[in-house]
Structure 1
């Protein structure tokens, strides 16, 4: 897979660190060694995994002459924050369509990412009810902007299409080179699984490079069956785009849905424990919606003996800590 043939903007210039977490590992019983791939430290306003995807999506937008970006997400969307930040960097207008997945959860004066949307000068925010046709909403907005003389470009939620997922094929290659340089054998990788672009890209990169590292996704919204189907579909499309030899094996996608709790973005006790434990042992901040619930899943898998004793487990930290500041009551 020669990813150099795909246009990108060069937002990711250096590998993000892979850090050992000995105190966190000890707090979980010391039988498994936890490492964290720090994609929360990627460039872009407050960092996070979407920068890798937007590196490719923004290049496509500019190649098509766009002067305006439209994207969507939940009311505290990290993806929307980073899309807006890179649009600002590129001198493009940015319009956001926010889905109120939990009724009453959008608060115009909220802290967290909602504050950052306004700080960075978002051109418009459209709030729609949970369950809305988000692509349809964005296309309707694009039509209005075209009538006004703009050239809009739509980036799907999470930048989770084959263009965006290519950023995580690249991340898998980056990770494998780092592990080689570190002399570190990883037995398992755990990733948050939401809009599917990150999870799909990682498994395509691992399979395409014959890494033999199993990847488990921790769901943040959907059931196991629905999420695995979503990841597999995008992984097949991404594998075809990047020129992976052979068919993508469906068995490479595994998801766990036991840590979603009452629903997307709704707090759980296990999420709160995981966020607190990592902060108090390693000084690393998770977010309450994605990385926090994914880490709750990893914690439970370690405690239940899912990983063999002595295993080295790599967790992909996708960022999102600004959302913590909209969840202050949860952590009191």
Structure 2
């Protein structure tokens, strides 16, 4: 079937957008993995959202296109956001600011599960400084959103025009980036002459999952979206994704209702905590690297891909299924987790 994407394209065009990608990211088949008997005849594909060039790439650039569009429309001169020491969103916000000649204030919080030197000083946090961001390292227990509010008032007092980027870029406006990605995927599927039975994504701050679900809902596509929670519990992630998808649809098409049972979240791969390594994650990262030469991060993609592998091995999908995994980037995080792979 060919999808009618005009309503989605028209709705997205109503919002300011700053071009940060070089064009559509490719969809590639994992031919070696798909041929392994343990995967029961399923066809595994990846959407290479790690191949967005700016700042080392990653899914946050799609969200930042709409958030930066809003910031520039408001005349902002400083971007403010927060996240963990290894936040991909913080790194890419810093890179986007550098590209557009804006100041950048990053508020970084320590991890509850990792405090080694690689984690605290390598990977994303190393790149944040190279992009010229002003980094605020908070002590454990200090609320980053409260600190951000105080920082914004200070910046305004200095005559600056700050714009706050939400956590993970995952506000409804940021989620529009993945509604646009849904249209991109559906066009690519039409061109390939295949139907993706399911799109699998990591679910952290839920913006990627919510945007994709809003997009396929508005496009009336039958492709299902499954998110593996890596941050919150399954119940919390489900509630957040439901609410954000509804909010994103409200921006795109207020008359289109979300069918609640289409929101699918699996919490089986989270592990002990956000960012805590798991044996399944380590195996999934190694398997994709050793069989396909592709690298996924240990916090998001590694856990979600581990979930997909487990489901296919269990026989959850019939032979011949076409399954698309969204590679969301985060490669610098591998260097921060060196000790976990030793």
TM-score normalised by the shorter chain: which range applies? over 0.9
Aligned to 1:222: 232
1:67-94 Cα offsets, whole Å, 9 max, x none, are: 1111111110011111110011010111
Contact 2:226 2:265 in 1 (8 A): yes
C-alpha distance in structure 2 between counterparts of 1:297 and 1:138, whole Å: 35
Match of 1:135 among 140, 145, 158: 145
C-alpha distance in structure 2 between counterparts of 1:303 and 1:29, whole Å: 5
- Output the TM-score relative to the length of structure 2: 0.93
What is the SS of the residue equivalent to 2:125? helix
What is the SS of the residue equivalent to 2:148? helix
Aligned to 1:65: 75
C-alpha distance in structure 2 between counterparts of 1:30 and 1:207, whole Å: 29
What is the SS of the residue equivalent to 1:241? helix
1:261-283 Cα offsets, whole Å, 9 max, x none, are: 11101100000000000001111
Are positions 1:8 and 2:21 aligned together?
no
Which residues in structure 2 correspond to 1:31-70 (within 5 Å)?
31-70=41-80
What is the SS of the residue equivalent to 1:82? helix
Aligned to 1:160: 170
RMSD of aligned Cα (Å): 1.5
C-alpha distance in structure 2 between counterparts of 1:111 and 1:100, whole Å: 14
Which residues in structure 2 correspond to 1:100-139 (within 5 Å)?
100-102=110-112, 105=115, 107=117, 110-129=121-140, 132-139=142-149
Which residues in structure 2 correspond to 1:1-332 (within 5 Å)?
1=8, 2=10, 3-27=12-36, 28-102=38-112, 105=115, 107=117, 110-129=121-140, 132-243=142-253, 245-332=255-342
What is the SS of the residue equivalent to 1:56? helix
Contact 2:20 2:61 in 1 (8 A): yes
Q: Which shifted more, 227-236 or 8-17? A: 8-17
Contact 2:205 2:231 in 1 (8 A): no
What is the SS of the residue equivalent to 1:298? helix
Contact 1:67 1:152 in 2 (8 A): yes
Superposed displacement of residue 30, structure 1: 4.4
C-alpha distance in structure 1 between counterparts of 2:314 and 2:201, whole Å: 18
Superposed displacement of residue 300, structure 1: 0.8
Contact 1:167 1:201 in 2 (8 A): yes
Distance 1:106 1:240, change over 3 A: farther
- Output the TM-score relative to the length of structure 1: 0.96
Distance 1:175 1:181, change over 3 A: same
C-alpha distance in structure 1 between counterparts of 2:120 and 2:271, whole Å: 27
Q: Which ranges of structure 2 fall in alignment gaps of 5 or more residues?
A: 1-7
What is the SS of the residue equivalent to 2:315? coil
Number of aligned residue pairs: 331
